[in-house]
Amino acid sequence: MAIKHLKNYAKGKWVASKSKGEALHNAVTGEAIYTASSDGLDFGEMMDYARRIGGPALRKLTFHERGRMLKALAMYLLERKENYYKISAYTGATRIDSWVDIEGGIGNLFANASLRRQFPNERFFVDGEAAKLSKHGTFIGHHIMVPREGVAIHINAFNFPVWGMLEKIAVNLLAGVPAIVKPATLTSFLTEAVFEDIIESKILPEGSLQLICGSARGILDTVETQDIVTFTGSAETGKKLKAHPRILSEAVPFNMEADSLNCCVLGPDVLPNMPEFDLFIKEVVREMTTKAGQKCTAIRRIMVPSDRIEEVHLALGKRLKGTAIGDPASEGVRMGPLAGITQRNEVREKVQQFAKSQEIIIGDLNHFEVIGADKEKGAFLPPIVFLNDDPFHKLDCHNVEAFGPVATIMPYKNLEEAMELARMGRGSLVGSIVTQDDTIARDFVLGTASMHGRILVLNADCAKESTGHGSPMPMLVHGGPGRAGGGEEMGGVRGVMHYLQRTAIQGSPTTITKITNVFQQGAAQHELEVHPFRKHFEDLQIGDTLITAKHTVTETDITNFANVSGDNFYAHMDATSLSGTIFEGRVAHGYFILSKAAGLFVDAKKGPVLLNYGIDECRFTKPVYPGMTIGVKLTVKEKVDQEKRSEEDIPKGIVKWLVDVYDQTGETVAIATILTMVKKRL
């Protein structure tokens, strides 16, 4: 095929490089197929463009609008995935490898799009609960989170050219922050293909994304206080970037995900005749061969009870022997080449380094078969398994990573030794243990969690649906301490918050209500002449309040409620059993108080309220005895817009109501937040 010159995307335009730049090769054949260069780009101007154009455009959108934008983009890319699979084959990836990268990346867009439902339909996020800062409640504090007014710079690794980009931009775009994507040049041709479709879709606001396929050396010279940098790659490179003077002087958040010596432990309870033994072997083999072991989450250290080393050796050897290596396009191939000759040579060097202190028991660097390709021209390497017979003193396996299909088996005597070996990785993205014993699982997790970003416990109960050792999930935090970089990516709401600025706000409840659009206790209330259940979603305002009629509680109420509910708890029904309790006499059921409150505030006629959607929180704060009189203040606390699922769907939203039940002294006896589904006028 003719050599294609990759383009960069800067300031809203595709920019051809002024020089041919670096040649990029087909990992299978060694043939030069692309060139990449960033000559002619002005990184400072790109950063300024993102701040001036992309940032304001994204911040005008609400979380819900940004989420719908991600969903539309995911659907658009999914329709074009087959083109990405064709290009991905040039990186040495099999169809399964590419699925993880391509559809896994698009899946991140879908997952973060769904995450919008955990945010308000606002441009900001109200974090946590209000803090009462004064005796009489006229001065309170709260926290809001707003998008940072800078740029996210994503410096990605070569092993996942699609997933690496999409899993990062999904989060910053949902947060309302633009990004500049810098994929590893080696496989940037696949990133460019996906990026081209992103731009062609015209789904994102102008300035939301820019792309650098060549070198981005010097881009950190232009960062400012509001910017964010994420890095995935080697620990050595990450440390240099993190120490950049501009990063330090501007206090720029730097999220690093570095190479990691992840482990998998065969539990001391697992014997060769148990299903967990087979699960362990399959998991290790999968992590060694998927993407030819080029995963930051791949298993590098295999910990096995000392009396089961031989069985594991034989089982691993048998399964790895059946892994066909070659051109991913050839039938039967299960493992392709590494991403490039440079990577293959680096892994070879690491293998030779390991061989000085530990023995190769599976695999041979020089003698292996390749299907459909020339193993010298392509970046091929067989799976290599070492045995380290003294892992507490032969330490290369705990300090050096061969970023390919290379792992080390090491024995342990008891669980304490296994945990110590796991911790010797000095910080890992993920560790796993295969065990049927939940006590062993608990001890291992609690004993190693401080050194791991994620821990998988695998057994026959969850194996069928488990996503596996090496699969970070978009709703969970991805990252790890120490050697793994100390960063966090994705992680559901937590991940989005990385791109938001948390600000404490202080003032009167009325002022804080106005700022947050969430009613705060003690704020001004607007008593309504029309019952709020007669109003449509759009017409209700935060602070609208209904003050109900009152009801005096009787012993008959308590008895009748006990008969209906079946709740005959002694405090409600037996006045002779209250000695030594906090109660002065028979006390009304809390749920009766809440039910009676509903009876007081509900408007019975058909109207815009479609249904009761649930209760978010409820507290019974003061006993209610027969003879006490209760009333209710029902206040619009918050409104949550809902999307129509189809053209036939009823337009509606969720209204959260503060239900304040008080007694004849004005003191609150019960408080709850209830939700109703309310029809819109439109």
The domain covering 4-259+494-500 belongs, at the CATH homologous superfamily level, to Aldehyde Dehydrogenase; Chain A, domain 1 (3.40.605.10)
pLDDT of amino acid 170? 97
Residue 223, pLDDT above cutoff 70: yes
Average pLDDT of the segment spanning 511-532:
95
Boundaries of CATH 3.40.309.10 in the chain? 262-479
Instruction: Give the tokens for residue 127.
Output: 């974090």
Closest to 337 in 3D by CA, of 305, 371, 312, 314: 371
Average pLDDT of the segment spanning 434-450:
98
In order, the DSSP letters of 569-627 are: -HHHH-GGG-TTSS-SS----HHHHHHHHHHHH---S-SSEEEEEEEEEEEE-S---TT
Q: Coil, strand, or helix at residue 304?
A: strand
pLDDT in tens, 489-498: 888 899 999 9
Provide the β-strand partners of residue 454.
430
Q: Kindly indicate the confidence band of residue 488, based on its pLDDT and cuts at 50, 70 and 90.
A: confident
Q: Domain spanning 262-479 has what CATH number?
A: 3.40.309.10
What's the one-letter identity of residue 312?
Answer: V
Q: How far apart are CA 51 and CA 63, in angstroms?
A: 19
Which run of H or E residues covers position 462? none
Average pLDDT of the segment spanning 315-334:
94
pLDDT of amino acid 234? 87
Cβ atoms 672, 618 nearer than 8 A = yes
Which run of H or E residues covers position 653? strand 652-662
Cβ atoms 221, 246 nearer than 8 A = yes
What is the side-by-side strand order in the sheet with 140-147? 125-132, 140-147, 500-507
Q: Kindly indicate the confidence band of residue 1, based on its pLDDT and cuts at 50, 70 and 90.
A: low
Question: Could you tell me the CA-to-CA distances from 446 to 265, 421, 425, 427, 451 in Å, in that order?
Answer: 15, 15, 16, 15, 10
Give Cβ neighbours of residue 152 (< 8 Å, ≥ 6 apart): 168, 169, 172, 177, 178, 179, 180, 227, 228, 229, 230, 499
Closest to 167 in 3D by CA, of 156, 178, 177, 176: 156
Which residue carries 């950049």 as its tokens? 244
What's the one-letter identity of residue 463?
Answer: A
Which residue carries 């300031």 as its tokens? 11
Provide the β-strand partners of residue 674.
615, 657
Lowest-pLDDT choice from 16-20, 204-208, 348-352, 565-569: 16-20
Q: What average pLDDT does the chain have?
A: 95
pLDDT of amino acid 643? 87
pLDDT in tens, 403-438: 999 999 999 999 999 999 999 999 999 999 999 999
Give Cβ neighbours of residue 244 (< 8 Å, ≥ 6 apart): 220
Boundaries of CATH 3.10.129.10 in the chain? 525-679
Residue 313, pLDDT above cutoff 80: yes
State the CATH architecture for 525-679. Roll (3.10)
Residue 19, pLDDT above cutoff 90: no
Question: Could you tell me the CA-to-CA distances from 223 to 39, 256, 358, 650 in Å, in that order?
Answer: 20, 16, 45, 47
pLDDT of amino acid 497? 94
Which residues are annotated as catalytic? 257, 296
What's the one-letter identity of residue 15?
Answer: V
pLDDT of amino acid 647? 85
Boundaries of CATH 3.40.605.10 in the chain? 4-259+494-500
